[in-house]
């Protein structure tokens, strides 16, 4: 059942549901479907509409401090289907070893669950995400000390809005409420349970409406989950679930910048698009965290002779700096990219098998890397997100040492050579900004800001994704990840949502 809550159709929510799922992205949709399949009555509330609108998206605008990051109203999507619209389709399960405590990543407590807890949901998650079989090991005959070839399961990728709107509209156990922005969670007098959620449309004079349910699940994304909990402070100072000042802390993304480039002399296929992951043995030996390393074939593109000549001039002749800066239209010309060498190779790409070296690396948990509230308010009256992202020395060490080791492995195998960019070799490296043209600074993997821990002093939710101290409030999505790992998160997000669905179903039937 699909309802526009900006209209009188909102009256359909004037009853008590088994579960109110807030947010219709990969986590919320997967959870709602699971609950309905288990026979529960579900209110699935989405702040946006079925399509993107600027009015809804603007709610996501916020402040950025610390490392430069993508604008917050660009880094996620606020309409039915959520940020699956940004997904590139790469999927892997989190490795079993990633759940264990690891002093290097700051998670001395590890995850309160194990891979075996998610394994039962791997098959259905793969179906939901339309995952193909693992990519074949194309290079298995070659030895890479310290690395194994990363085998992803690829999706088209699935856009949840497109795939599931019709099914959910036809599902009698799900009431899909569109244009329903969550503006408060109200607690019972004992402050131990959520009694109802308050929603509004974006109309300025909307008085709003309430949805009552036995259980509530917040599935609004890795920045919005903590922002909303922090905003709901009228009954609990500091926000719901924040008694230990944990909500919003440890926020992280996978650094996605270019680390360098490679010149190949290996077998066909290596330079096409290859992925390698560091082994646990290498990580322990080198004292680094996990890292996926990608050789991303350069796109076939035409380069402007004049533009690249100007870049080369600027990078080599000081007196030409002003001219080159004017020609290229940039304040700071990036000398690690382009130039006449690139222009020459672009004429005969088959003779120069080059690739960019990019990454997904595991950032350590940093308590000062966090989502807080800014002073500005959105049109619903809620304070906007303020994101402070920073990396720790161990993160830069992981990027550098792993890249150097991969370069050595490639050279010793006689397959090519790797060049590491200057920024990563600096004594005190800092992740390049967006204006450096070194790829995406982050991967839009918003994780850990309502992290999972058995100890409420170290996390916001427990191993069942339940908010510590609130008996019937759960959180879905990668904000509950206890650590970031170096694995793309979507597969695990869906596995966790399915597991949460079964957990809540068990409680609802008890």
Partner 1 sequence: MTREVPMPKSLPGRRRFLKALGLALLAPLAGGLAGGARAAPAAAGIRATALPSGMFLVNGWILTAADLEALGIDAA
Please give the Cα distance from 509 to 90 (Å, whole number).
36
Q: Would you count residue 301 as binding partner 1 (CB under 8 A)? A: no
For partner 1, the closer of residues 424 and 470 by Cβ is 424
Pick from 186, 345, 383, 397: which binds partner 1 (CB under 8 A)?
345
Q: Would you count residue 486 as binding partner 1 (CB under 8 A)? A: no
Quote the least distance from Cβ 351 to partner 1, whole Å. 7
DSSP string, 220-231: S-TTHHHHHHHH
From 95-103, 209-217, 399-407, 476-484, give the range in contact with partner 1 by CB under 8 A: 399-407
Q: Would you count residue 439 as binding partner 1 (CB under 8 A)? A: no
For partner 1, the closer of residues 100 and 340 by Cβ is 340
For partner 1, the closer of residues 253 and 314 by Cβ is 314
Please give the Cα distance from 450 to 411 (Å, whole number).
42
Q: Would you count residue 344 as binding partner 1 (CB under 8 A)? A: yes
Q: In sequence order, which residues have a C-beta less than 8 Å from that of residue 284 and are 6 or more positions away?
A: none
Pick from 312, 398, 478, 485: which binds partner 1 (CB under 8 A)?
312
Pick from 26, 47, 338, 489: which binds partner 1 (CB under 8 A)?
338
Please give the Cα distance from 125 to 84 (Å, whole number).
14
Quote the least distance from Cβ 422 to partner 1, whole Å. 6
Quote the least distance from Cβ 258 to partner 1, whole Å. 12
For partner 1, the closer of residues 7 and 140 by Cβ is 140
For partner 1, the closer of residues 20 and 288 by Cβ is 288
Number of shown-chain residues binding partner 1 (CB under 8 A): 37
Task: Tell me, letter by letter, the H, E, C secondary structure of 2-49.
Answer: EEECCCHHHHHHCCEEEEEEECCCHHHHHHHHHHHHCCCCEEEECCCC
Q: Would you count residue 436 as binding partner 1 (CB under 8 A)? A: no
Q: Would you count residue 323 as binding partner 1 (CB under 8 A)? A: no
Q: Would you count residue 425 as binding partner 1 (CB under 8 A)? A: yes
Q: Would you count residue 335 as binding partner 1 (CB under 8 A)? A: yes
Q: Would you count residue 95 as binding partner 1 (CB under 8 A)? A: no
Q: Would you count residue 341 as binding partner 1 (CB under 8 A)? A: yes
Give the CA radius of gyration of the chain.
24
Q: Would you count residue 263 as binding partner 1 (CB under 8 A)? A: yes
Of 436, 370, 435, 360, which Cα lies nearest the Cα of 402?
360
Angle at the Cα of 18 from the Cα atoms of 168 and 166, rounded to 5 degrees:
0
Quote the least distance from Cβ 346 to partner 1, whole Å. 11
Contact between residue 200 and residue 183 where contact means Cβ atoms under 8 Å apart: yes
Read off the DSSP letter of residue 147: E
Judging by DSSP bridges, how do beta strands 16-22 and 42-45 pair with one another?
A: parallel
DSSP string, 67-114: S----TTTSS--STTGGGGG---EE-PPPGGGGS-BGGGTBTT--SS-
Pick from 159, 227, 311, 458: which binds partner 1 (CB under 8 A)?
311
Contact between residue 447 and residue 111 where contact means Cβ atoms under 8 Å apart: no
Cα torsion 500, 505, 507, 508 to 10°: value is 140
Pick from 23, 25, 177, 260: which binds partner 1 (CB under 8 A)?
260
Please give the Cα distance from 505 to 174 (Å, whole number).
15
From 14-22, 77-85, 271-279, 406-414, give the range in contact with partner 1 by CB under 8 A: 406-414
Query: Which residues is 474 bridged to in the sheet?
Result: 217, 466
The token pair at 506 is: 């068990």
Quote the least distance from Cβ 324 to partner 1, whole Å. 10
Tell me the per-residue interface mask from 346 to 385 with partner 1, x by CB under 8 A, - otherwise.
-----xx---------------------------------
Q: Would you count residue 477 as binding partner 1 (CB under 8 A)? A: no
From 124-132, 273-281, 298-306, 342-350, give the range in contact with partner 1 by CB under 8 A: 342-350
How far, CA to CA in Å, does 25 sit from each of 200, 219, 266, 475, 493? 19, 7, 41, 13, 10
Quote the least distance from Cβ 140 to partner 1, whole Å. 18
Q: Which of residues 8-67 bind partner 1 (CB under 8 A)?
A: none
The number of residues making up the chain comes to 510
For partner 1, the closer of residues 61 and 413 by Cβ is 413
Helix/strand number for the chain, H first, E second? 13, 21
Please give the Cα distance from 184 to 84 (Å, whole number).
25
Q: Is 287 left (phi over 0), alpha (psi -120 to 50) or beta?
A: left
User: How many other CB atoms are there within 10 angstroms of residue 390's CB atom?
Assistant: 17
Quote the least distance from Cβ 371 to partner 1, whole Å. 35
Q: Would you count residue 400 as binding partner 1 (CB under 8 A)? A: no
Using DSSP, state whether 497 is helix, strand or coil.
helix
Tell me the per-residue interface mask from 143 to 182 with partner 1, x by CB under 8 A, - otherwise.
----------------------------------------
Q: Would you count residue 114 as binding partner 1 (CB under 8 A)? A: no
First to last CA, the chain: 27
Q: Would you count residue 309 as binding partner 1 (CB under 8 A)? A: yes
Pick from 49, 130, 206, 342: which binds partner 1 (CB under 8 A)?
342
Using DSSP, state whether 57 is helix, strand or coil.
helix
Q: Would you count residue 503 as binding partner 1 (CB under 8 A)? A: no
Contact between residue 473 and residue 218 where contact means Cβ atoms under 8 Å apart: yes
Pick from 11, 422, 455, 502: which binds partner 1 (CB under 8 A)?
422
The contact set with partner 1 (CB under 8 A) reads 260, 263, 265, 309, 311-316, 335-342, 344-345, 351-352, 404-405, 407-408, 411-414, 417-422, 425
């Amino acid at each position: 059942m699909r309802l526009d809550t900006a209209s009188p159709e909102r009256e359909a929510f004037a009853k008590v549901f088994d579960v109110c799922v807030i947010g219709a992205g990969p986590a919320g949709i997967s959870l709602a479907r699971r609950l309905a399949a288990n026979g529960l009555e579900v209110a699935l509330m989405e702040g946006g509409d079925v399509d993107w609108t600027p009015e809804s998206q603007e709610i996501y605008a916020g402040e950025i401090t610390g490392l430069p990051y993508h604008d917050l109203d660009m880094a996620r999507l606020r309409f039915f289907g959520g940020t699956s619209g940004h997904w590139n389709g790469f999927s892997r399960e989190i490795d079993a070893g990633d759940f264990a405590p690891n002093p290097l990543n700051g998670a001395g407590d590890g995850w309160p669950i194990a891979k075996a807890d998610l394994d039962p949901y791997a098959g259905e998650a793969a179906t939901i995400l339309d995952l193909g079989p693992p990519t074949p090991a194309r290079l298995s005959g070659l030895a890479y000390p310290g690395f194994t070839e990363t085998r992803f399961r690829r999706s088209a990728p699935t856009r949840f809005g497109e795939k599931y709107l019709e099914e959910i509209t036809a599902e009698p156990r799900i009431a899909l409420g569109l244009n329903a922005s969550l503006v408060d969670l109200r607690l019972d007098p004992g402050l131990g349970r959520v009694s109802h959620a308050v929603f509004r449309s974006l109309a300025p004079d909307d008085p709003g409406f309430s949805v009552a349910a036995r259980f509530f699940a917040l599935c609004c994304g890795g920045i919005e989950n903590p922002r909303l909990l922090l905003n709901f402070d009228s009954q609990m100072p500091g926000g719901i679930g924040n008694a230990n000042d944990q909500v919003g802390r440890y926020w992280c993304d996978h650094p996605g910048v270019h680390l360098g480039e490679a010149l190949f002399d290996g077998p066909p296929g290596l330079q096409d698009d290859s992925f390698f992951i560091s082994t646990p043995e290498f990580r322990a030996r080198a004292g680094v965290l996990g890292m996926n390393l990608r050789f991303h074939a350069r796109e076939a593109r035409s380069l402007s002779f004049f533009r690249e000549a100007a870049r080369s001039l600027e990078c080599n002749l000081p007196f030409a700096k002003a001219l080159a800066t004017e020609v290229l239209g940039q304040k700071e010309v990036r000398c690690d990219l382009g130039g006449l060498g690139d222009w020459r190779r672009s004429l005969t790409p088959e003779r120069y098998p080059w690739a960019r070296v990019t990454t997904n690396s595991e950032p350590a948990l940093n308590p000062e890397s966090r989502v807080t509230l800014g002073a500005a308010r959105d049109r619903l009256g809620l304070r906007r997100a303020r994101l402070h992202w920073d990396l720790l020395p161990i993160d830069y060490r992981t990027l550098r040492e792993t890249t150097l080791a991969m370069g050595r492995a490639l050279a010793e195998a006689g397959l090519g050579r790797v060049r590491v960019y200057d920024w990563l070799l600096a004594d005190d490296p800092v992740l390049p900004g967006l204006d450096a043209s070194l790829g995406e600074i982050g991967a839009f993997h918003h994780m850990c800001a309502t992290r999972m821990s058995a100890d409420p002093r170290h996390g916001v939710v427990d191993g069942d994704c339940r908010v510590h101290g609130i008996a019937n409030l759960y959180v879905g999505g990668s904000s509950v990840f206890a650590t970031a790992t170096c694995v793309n998160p979507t597969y695990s997000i869906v596995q966790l949502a399915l597991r949460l669905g079964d957990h809540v179903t068990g409680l609802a039937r008890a």
